[in-house]
Every structure is written in structure tokens, then in C-alpha cells.
Structure 1
């Protein structure tokens, strides 16, 4: 006669619980989302809503093409004596100095003596490389950087990485649409700022990896973006 304990079957092996994995994934996603939002808030806080004159003069001025008023603002800085020479980086190969000078009569005489055109840059990274070559060739130790306010953070990341030995003084160009309404109230402006933030993060990551000796080796051209309707023929092929 068997005892009651003999009738009990051995306990089944415990199955691994997967609840912790689900919780971990959710926690990672939440923390990642919070980090993205916090980083975006910090990025937006860098974007100026008004144009502020450079703190002081520099050896040269470099403007990264792509916005309708970047070149005119950079030319005004040159005429005002903020720099000895101006580099327009990212000019479309079909555009010549005369084409640009005709659109900017106030600085036409300066195009004959003090303006250089770079037609090889196709994105912000190559803008930075061409600006570095130009500055070193001229022996410049300081540059005023002219580009749109939404593009300035990424431009400074690339430029400072390309030439850490040169002082960079930002001059952020503010588009008319940016002045007229809050950036978050316009769908197109909001998409532009979000897109630029993602590109900014990618640039920061690439530069950090490059400092560690890791080159991603991917450098795609960029499509020009402008917040305003075109006021003059396009001169840009980058940014």
C-alpha cells in the first residue's frame, strides 16, 4: 500500500519569467524618449530669434549657403569691416561671382577684391573642410560663421571639429517666417527643426566616434532648405 506522498508527481520545472524583459524594454524606451525630449529642448534653446551683431571682428567670414538671405547678410558684414575676406561655401557650379554680385549691388565692388567662392562643398561636413583649407591658406585665426539659426548648432559642431585651432564667432541668420510666428505653430518649421535636431545628433555622434578613431565613412549630400519663398535665384547646393 502506497503512502499519500507516493501519489504526488514531481513538480514541473519553473518557466523563466519574461515580465522583467518587457519591463526593461519599456523603461529603456521611456528613458530614451525623455533624453530625446530634453536634448531637443536644449537644442531649441540655442536657436536665436533675432540677429545679433558679432561680438567682435574676425580675420575672415564664411557663409554656408542654403538660405535666401545668408549671402546678403554675410556681404553686409564684409562691407561693415567685420572681416578681411568672405568665403561663400557651397555655391552651385553653374553660378558665378557676377551672378551673385548682381543680386547684391551694395557689395558689388567687394566681389572683385575680397570674396572667394567654393563650389565643391555639398554638405555641412564638406563646408567645414573647405572653410578649414581656406582659413589655413590665408593664415586666419578667427572666422565669423554665417548660416541660418536652425543650422548654426550643427555647423559649429562640424567647423569646430575641422579646425579646433580657429576661433569661431556665430552670426545666426533669422528668416522672416521665424520672426513672424512661433516655430512650433508652423508644421513646416516644426518638421525642419526636428529634422535639423536629428542631423545635429548624428553630427555629434560622428564627431565623437571620429575622436575615438572611428570613421563612419558616410557623407550624404544635403538638400537646401529655406523657411522663406525664394527672393532671388538659388546659389546654393548644400544645407
Structure 2
């Protein structure tokens, strides 16, 4: 009986991982939101956020998880952001150190600006967990559009992220 339960749990885990690995989200084009939130940590994320702003699909871009030692001028130089865009449309967040604190930092910024819709930009393999953390932090009246940056993750990256997603789901389900 215990062996059957263990085998069933392993099968559920394996099929869940397979579903996670083959159903990574895609980029979204053409839909407008009030703002775009970009989580640092992966290639192409900031470029995608800037593209959204340049195309007029969001008024503001908030970059969560910026290293506290990075100045706005250094950020602009590193990512080739025009001064005008940096002044009007890009805000840097220095408080977040992980996905959960990204959600908290972004929620505070969104609340301060009374935005009701946001585009979340992160890497495709990271989107499920990031969206889950944001759903647990943002007020329900804020619509979140998931805009994934395509990547080619290796098996260890997918495995680690799937386990982090499961851990986040379990911790969100526990009572406070």
C-alpha cells in the first residue's frame, strides 16, 4: 500500500514536471497595460521591458531587484536607455533580493501609482513561480499580463525551478 502511494506520488511529480517543461509561456505582443514590471536576473528581460515602453504598450517600467550599487546612469549606460526614456519612464527598485520580494516591491510601487494593469516580464522558465508570487501579493483588482522572455533552459534549470515552484505553492497554501 505504501509502495503504491509512493509510486503514485512519483508519477504525479514526474507528469507535473513534464507539463511544466513543455508548456513554458511565450511573449505577448500588442496588448497595452498601465505599466511593465521587469524582474532582474536573466538575459533579455530588461530589453523586453524597454521594447514594451518604446512601443507605447506601457507608460512606465519598474525594474525590481536592481543591485543597490547600480546608479540610474550606470543602468542607462549598460542597457543603452536614452536619457529621456530613463527620466520619464524607467524606475529602479533596489529592495528585492528574490522572487517573493520582487512581488512585494512591485506591489508597493503599483499601489503608489494606482495602476490597474501590469505586464510582468521575466524568463519563460521563471514565469510560473513569478506569476504565482505576484498573484499572492498584488490586490485582486490588478490585471497581470504574463510576457515571457524566451530562453533555452537546460534540464537542471528546469528541475530546480519546478521544485522552487512546488515549494512556493506549498508555502502559499500554509496558514499564517
- Where structure 1 has 5 or more consecutive residues not aligned to the other structure, the ranges are 1-23, 184-188, 216-239
Is 1:196 matched with 2:161?
yes
- Indicate if the aligned counterparts of 1:54 and 1:144 stay in contact, CA closer than 8 A: no
* Larger strand fraction of residues: 2
- CA shift, 1:69, in A, is 1.7
The alignment partner of 1:150 has SS state of helix
Q: Distance in 2 between matches of 1:202 and 1:108?
A: 41
Match of 2:120 in 1: 145
Match of 2:11 in 1: 34
- Indicate if the aligned counterparts of 2:63 and 2:91 stay in contact, CA closer than 8 A: yes
Detail structure 1 runs of 4+ shifted over 6 Å in the superposition: none
What is the TM-score normalised by the length of structure 2? Answer: 0.93
Match of 2:145 in 1: 169
**How many aligned positions are there?**
175
Q: Distance in 1 between matches of 2:82 and 2:99?
A: 25
Match of 1:46 in 2: 23
The alignment partner of 1:33 has SS state of helix
Superimposed CA distance per residue, residues 49-71 of structure 1 (whole angstroms, 9 cap, x where no aligned partner)? xx533351000000010012211
The alignment partner of 1:36 has SS state of helix
Match of 1:105 in 2: 80
Match of 2:70 in 1: 95
- Indicate if the aligned counterparts of 2:30 and 2:57 stay in contact, CA closer than 8 A: no
- Which of 1 and 2 has greater Rg? 1
Residue number among 156, 164, 179 corresponding to 2:131 in the alignment: 156
What is the TM-score normalised by the length of structure 1? Answer: 0.70
- Indicate if the aligned counterparts of 2:123 and 2:150 stay in contact, CA closer than 8 A: yes
Give the aligned CA root-mean-square deviation in angstroms.
1.5
